[in-house]
Amino acid sequence: MSREAYQVPSLGGGQQGQYTGATGIGDAAANEASVTYICGDCNSRVAMKRGDQIRCKECGHRVLYKERTKRMVQFQAR
């Protein structure tokens, strides 16, 4: 897959490129996507949004690892 053919995935069925302005800050926070992390102690999956405490909801451990991507990543050597 070439760099030019890559399409950025959208975060839902909403309109892309729409700017909500200063009045839409609360709405944008409600529509934020969560990122899944894996706890370093109990291996449970923790979904976190921006501004959440970095802490496992199951055991309270504070070391979380970002989950690997499922998308194919390929680098070209030069």
For 7-63, how does the pLDDT look when each residue is reduced to its tens digit (9 = 90+)?
777 666 555 455 454 555 555 555 678 999 999 999 999 999 999 999 999 999 999
Q: Tell me, what's the pLDDT at 31?
A: 66
- How open is the CA angle 5-8-11, to the nearest 5 degrees? 155
Q: Could you tell me which of 27, 26, 46 has the C-alpha nearest to residue 35?
A: 46
Q: Is residue 28 part of a domain?
A: no
Q: Is residue 53 part of a domain?
A: yes
Q: Is residue 6 part of a domain?
A: no
Q: Is residue 8 part of a domain?
A: no
- Which CATH number covers residue 55? 2.20.28.30
Q: Is residue 41 part of a domain?
A: yes
Residue-range definition of the domain harbouring residue 49: 34-66
Distance CA 44, CA 47 (A): 10
Q: Is residue 24 part of a domain?
A: no
Between 51 and 2, name the one with better pLDDT.
51
